[in-house]
Structure 1
Amino acid sequence: MSGALRGKAAFVGAATGFINGAGGLSAAEMMAVTAADALRDAGLSIRDVDGLFVGMQTEFLSTLAFGEYLGIRPRFSDNSRVGGSSFLCHAEQAALALDAGLCDVALICYGSNQRSAVGRLQTSVAGTWSDIEAPYNARFPVSSYALSAARHMHEFGTRPEDLASVAVSARRWAQLNPDAFAREPLDAAEVLASPRVSTPLGRLDCCLVTDGAAAVVMTRADRARDQARKPVYLLGSAAEHWHKQISAMEDLCVTAATRSSQRAYAAAGIGSGDVDLVQVYDAFTISTIMLLEDLGFCPKGEGGRFVSGGVIAPGGSLPVNTNGGGLSCCHPGMYGLFTLVEAIRQLRGEAGDRQVADAEIALCQGSGGAFSSQVTNILGTGAAL
């Protein structure tokens, strides 16, 4: 996304649902309810939607299936799949389509009933993720992230206590969020004592397994000003992917977020110092540490020390994952769209007890695969235009 598209499209509706249980509904049913909620939030209806962006875990032809389910015939649709970052890609594609006049109202949605239906992490990956890695019986995806965590600890002296700080900070935010799945108190000792899943990562270093659905609605900026809610503008967006499997990663401690963020900052005309709050895809505690480094909020190798002082927790100078993130709010298979919903709520001043004061610019980072796909969206209020 170039700077020419800065502020041309806006988010005008957002909703989440079913984080604490699908109630027997299918993924499509959950998505339909949540999409209706997001459209109602925008003062629109399903009849207004002519742009559709979906990435279901259980339906490869997601836009076809969900368009049929909703009874709509979109003029523009996108079924791009780059893991949990897909929905931030969808936001960029929707902005492009809206600006080109290919659609007028774009709906981006996702849902999964993985916890109540299958009781474990659900993935759209079929068969063997990597023929190179399969002989080692690694657990996908946790062992890939554990490899990066081990390398980060070896190279930079990052401690298990630093990883635990990420989990504790996320839980403290979740305790301020009535919709979060995990709200009971959590301290570093408990994180450090949790059973190892893939060393050095323990159970509480890993994202939740929950149900959940999310949806956002986008329109052109000129129309957004007339909608029911305060518009939140897409200021900049960029996507990069450098590998699929972790064994192809050139440097286990450096992700493509280094480039996606630079390009998004340039498009938005800002730097990391202008960002008021950050929503990253925290599939594992090491994710937050490495992504904050790659996004420019601290030097490479300093992420562990950066998070250990409470900087990213409530009351800290850089609010991160203010809903509780994938570690404590929800993780229904893919978390990326929830970063956008939380950023929108914060920038509209609707986050309740967890509201960040005077928030005008938010950065959302989607991460797909094994640190594979990185997508940066920068959102802002009208004051940030």
Structure 2
Amino acid sequence: MGINGKSYIVGIYEHPCRAALDKTLPQLHAEIAKGALADAGLSKDDVDAYFCAGDAPGLGPINMIEYMGLNNVRHMDSTETGGSSYIVHVNHAAQAIAAGHCNVALITLAGRPVADAKEGKPVRYYNQQAPDFPFEMPYGPNVTNMYAMCAMRHMYEYGTTSEQLAWIKVAASHHAQHNEQARLRDVVTVEDVVNSPMIADPLHRLDCCVITDGGGGIVMVSPEVAKSLKRTRVKVL
């Protein structure tokens, strides 16, 4: 089914928290939902579709729908693809709206890994249900060294260099200049990245994702709802 131009992003929200020592995970999701809906000029009663991944507690969207009082939801999605889940949810929300399953879709993503670590909670593995997990776990796999293997393979296949990968961090550091809530706002160079300590070959410390608490939300709507809102909207292509 084509989704081009059949839905719009009308609300977004980035939680300002970077260390949620005084907030629970459901609370983060709720505050993100409130912020995104406020930005869209909508209320929770307008929401008829909800999307969240494995970062939500309990049974994911089922528990969060009840917790947040989303009483009019008729479509939900709990697709889990790790940190890219919310990108997949944008696509799924666009498909659901285009198919007529919903008119106002709310997407939330939240986490408190910093707070969990300070509280001594064990590391959470997203792939515990994977069939290969029992065989790999004794060798200590984590996000960094698993991505390092992917990066090494990419270098082998395409001749990618560490200097080329470093530009990802360099670009991110420039983007941070436009976000007052960014945790790391110092501009870095390619040399800074490749000269930072090696964590898992070929990934250096500055190649690695920054771990923070917080999250974000997105509100997507049908063209009819979008036209009724007196605000800037972004068409999903």
TM-score class normalised by the smaller sequence? 0.7 to 0.9
Distance 1:127 1:101 in 2: 33
Distance 2:157 2:98 in 1: 45
The C-alpha deviation readout for 1:165-221, integer Å capped at 9, x for no partner, is 322222122123212111123233332232222111111111011011211111111
C-alpha distance in 2, partners of 1:94/1:165? Answer: 31
What are the residue-to-residue correspondences of 1:105-116 with 2, within 5 Å? 105-116=104-115
Distance between the aligned counterparts of 2:191 and 2:109, measured in 1? 35
**How far, CA to CA, are the matches of 1:87 and 1:65 in structure 2?**
18
TM-score normalised per structure 1: 0.55
CA shift for structure 1 position 116 = 2.0
Q: Aligned partners of 2:142, 2:75: CA distance in 1, in Å?
A: 34
Gaps of 5+ in 1: 236-385
- Relative to structure 1, the CA distance from residue 152 to residue 125 in structure 2 (aligned partners, 3 Å threshold; closer, same or farther) is closer
Per the alignment, residue 208 of structure 1 pairs with 210
Query: Structure 2: which amino acid aligns with 1:229?
Result: R
Decide whether aligned partners of structure 1 residues 15 and 190 sit closer, same or farther in structure 2, where only a CA change above 3 A counts.
Answer: same
Contact 1:12–1:232 (CA<8 Å) still a contact in 2? yes
What TM-score does the superposition give when structure 2 sets the normalisation length? 0.86
**Shift in CA distance, 96/208, structure 1 to aligned 2, threshold 3 Å:** same
1:78 aligned residue: 77
Whole-angstrom CA distance in 2 between matches of 1:108 and 1:116: 23
The offset of 1:31, in angstroms, is: 1.5
Report the counterpart of residue 91 of structure 1 in structure 2: 90
Aligned partner of 1:186 in structure 2 is 188
Question: Per-residue displacement from partner, 1:64-97 (whole Å, max 9, x unpaired)?
Answer: 1111111123111112223233223322332233
Relative to 1, partners in 2 of residues 1:181 and 1:123: Cα closer, same or farther, differing over 3 Å? farther
Quick check: 2:49–2:106 contact (8 Å CA) kept in 1?
A: yes
Distance of aligned partners of 1:100 and 1:152 in 2 relative to their CA distance in 1, 3 Å threshold:
closer
Higher deviation after alignment, 83-92 or 208-217: 83-92
> Does the CA-based 8 Å contact 1:225-1:231 persist in structure 2?
no
Q: Deviations over 1:334-374 (max 9, x none)?
A: xxxxxxxxxxxxxxxxxxxxxxxxxxxxxxxxxxxxxxxxx
Of 147, 167, 171 in structure 2, the residue corresponding to residue 145 of structure 1 is 147
Matched, 1:63 2:65: no
Q: Residues of 2 paired with 1:206 and 1:110: CA distance?
A: 20
SS of 2:18's partner is coil
Question: What is the number of equivalent residue pairs in this alignment?
Answer: 233
Aligned letter for 1:232?
A: V
Q: What pairs up with 1:279-318 in 2 under 5 angstroms?
A: none
**8 Å Cα contact 1:121/1:209 also seen in 2:** no
Give the 3-state SS of the residue equivalent to 2:178 in structure 1: coil
Residue 24, structure 1, aligned to residue 26, structure 2: no
Distance 2:68 2:174 in 1: 38
Secondary structure of the corresponding residue to residue 183 of structure 1:
coil
- Matched AA of 1:83: G
Q: For residue 326 of structure 1, what is the aligned residue in structure 2?
A: none
| One-letter amino acid of the structure 2 residue matched with residue 61 of structure 1 | L
Residues in 2 aligned to 1:17 and 1:100: alpha-carbon distance in whole angstroms: 31
Aligned-residue CA RMSD in angstroms?
A: 2.5
Bigger relative contact order, structure 1 or 2, given CA contacts below 8 A and separation 6+? 2
User: How many Å apart are 1:138 and its aligned residue?
Assistant: 5.1
Alpha-carbon distance in 2 for matches of 1:99, 1:128: 32
Partner residue of 2:43? 45
- Sort the Cα spacing of 1:217 and 1:155 in 2 relative to 1 into closer, same or farther, 3 A: closer
Distance 2:74 2:140 in 1: 43
| 1:132 shift after superposition | 8.4
The answer to whether the 8 Å contact 1:27/1:111 transfers is yes
Partner of 2:168: 166
Q: Which residue of 1 aligns with 2:231?
A: 229
Q: 1:43 to 1:213 in 2, by over 3 A?
A: same
Identity rate, percent: 33
The answer for the alignment partner of 2:100 in structure 1 is 101
The answer on whether the counterparts of 1:57 and 1:124 sit within 8 Å (CA) in structure 2 is: no
* 1:254 alignment partner in structure 2: none
How many angstroms does 1:61 deviate by?
Answer: 1.4
